[in-house]
Amino acid sequence: MAASRDESPTWQPVSTGRRRSVLRSGAGVCAFLVMAIVLVACGGDGDPKVAAAGVQGASEITAEPVSSAGDNPFTAPAGKDRKGVKPPRGAASPGGGPASYRGGLPGLYGGTRDYATCDADKLIAFLEQNPDKAAAWAGVLGIQVTEIRRYVGRLTPVLLRTDTRVTNHGFVNGRATPIQSVLQAGTAVFVTRYGEPVIKCYCGNPLRPPIRYVTPTYVGPRWPGFSTTNITIINRNTTIIKTFTLYDPETGKTFGRLAGTSGEIDDTPIQIPLPPMMEPAPTPPPVEPQPSQPPPETTPAPATPEREMPRASFTPNPGRQGDNFTIAVFGFRPGAQVQVTLTRPDGVVEHYSIDIEGDSGGSYTFTATENAVTGTYNATVTNPSTGAQAHASVQVLPGAGP
């Protein structure tokens, strides 16, 4: 498998109105070369040579398919994964590495209305009956053993819709053993009020944010459609999520689930458009038989859609750390929702969307850029309905001295 970049984002949008977001700063992430003792946990058997040695190699990430508990799970199954969940194609990263999303993004998670994919009571009962595992489990999540019941009771059961990077943990010799993992779409997880996945329900393993490797190597069993460009990293939402907008892969409909509820009785149907990157992959239409004769000349030709002449630009350009940067787009079809793919100077790829309002176009504004990565940012703006694209770049210089 070819190596790819996997780093944490710096440009992170927070909606303020329709098209405003906050450009948050983040420290650059170093590549970690680690040799950690690991017995494959809550996933497939992994690479045979690695499993036999009991050592995870530097920058290795284990692929973990649905409905697999591994050799060292924390608990008995406390949830049910779902097979056949296809990640949305728009979530793929064109830059060759994982795409990063906030935990509150509508449609990022899935589920079935009025059905709980995870059993909180079963998980709590198991941990209370196994104090050694409870202590290690609570330690991973940074809580006290006495807080487990209250902590789990405030979580929300959902399904992953994307192949997701995490730091997974098994239980070996009385201790939690970390393993860098990618969980297959369809995995049942508990998430916090900030949208962070913290428990893999099928085996009760606690989860933490992943280590971002610069050149990861993926090992373990692969599933159909596995691709390093279709992996996501889910970041903590900037605000508390009151209601999760979930997508049902069977019905193709969205519904709302109140944070901290089991999903068994309180789910409500909602109809909102999903962001472009979370829209399900379209089902190809059936192939119709071709007529043996060409159509009559009197058949009218299909109407030609209005031609788009898109363009995009950043202001200021160049700018400095601490400036407010705005990307403005024009020339796209009115009423369209265009997708912005932004590649940072350090190679991390991020995604945004902009609504086009008539001839006035649309824009995104980024603020709080005091510690933004310096260098050139490249943006590709695409109308997913027509394929029309525009390109723009901006140079961010170091901030002015005191």
Q: Of 24-38, 113-127, 151-165, 173-187, which gets the smallest average pLDDT?
A: 24-38
CA atoms within 13 A on the CB side of 144: 2
Residue type at position 150:
R
SS3 category, 86: coil
> What is the reported pTM?
0.59
Q: Average of pLDDT values for 15-27?
A: 34
The secondary structure of 314-336 as a DSSP string is EESSSEETT--EEEEEESSPTT-
At 6 the pLDDT is 41
Note the pLDDT tens digit of each residue in 78-118: 999 999 999 998 887 766 678 899 999 999 999 999 888 99
**Contact of 265 with 113, CB cutoff 8 Å:** no
At 125 the pLDDT is 95
Of 332, 342, 349, 382, the closest CA to residue 366 belongs to 342
Domain 311-397 has CATH 2.30.38.10: no
Give the whole-angstrom CA distance, residue 360 versus residue 246. 33
User: Looking at per-residue confidence, does 347 or 354 come out higher?
Assistant: 354
**Confidence bin at 318 (pLDDT 50/70/90):** confident
The pLDDT > 70 percentage for the chain reads 77
Structure tokens that stand for 125 in this block: 């009962």
User: Looking at per-residue confidence, does 140 or 4 come out higher?
Assistant: 140
Question: What is the overall mean pLDDT for the chain?
Answer: 80
User: Looking at per-residue confidence, does 368 or 231 come out higher?
Assistant: 231
SS3 category, 101: strand
Buried b (16+ CB within 10 A) or exposed e, 85-103: bebbebbbbebebbbbbbb
Which residues, at least 6 apart from 298, have a Cβ–Cβ distance to it below 8 Å?
none
At 11 the pLDDT is 41
The pLDDT > 90 percentage for the chain reads 42
Q: Of 146-155, 197-206, 321-330, which gets the smallest average pLDDT?
A: 321-330
Buried b (16+ CB within 10 A) or exposed e, 243-263: bbbbbbbeeeebbbbebebbb
At 282 the pLDDT is 65
Give the whole-angstrom CA distance, residue 73 versus residue 339. 40
Is the per-residue pLDDT at 201 higher than 60?
A: yes
The residues of the chain that CATH labels 2.60.40.10 are: 311-397
- How long a stretch of residues is the chain? 402
The answer, yes or no, to whether the previous bond of 318 is cis (omega within 30 of 0) is yes
Give the whole-angstrom CA distance, residue 27 versus residue 9. 9
Cα angle 248, 251, 257 (rounded to 5 degrees) comes to 35
Pairing of strands 99-102, 231-235: parallel
User: Looking at per-residue confidence, does 292 or 111 come out higher?
Assistant: 111
SS3 category, 349: strand
Of 172, 197, 222, the closest CA to residue 40 belongs to 172
Is the per-residue pLDDT at 186 higher than 90?
A: yes
At 289 the pLDDT is 57
At 299 the pLDDT is 52
Residue 234 phi/psi, 5-degree rounding, is -100, 120
Question: Taking the mean position of all CA atoms in its chain, how far away is CA 55?
Answer: 28
The answer, yes or no, to whether the previous bond of 65 is cis (omega within 30 of 0) is no
Is the per-residue pLDDT at 31 higher than 80?
A: no
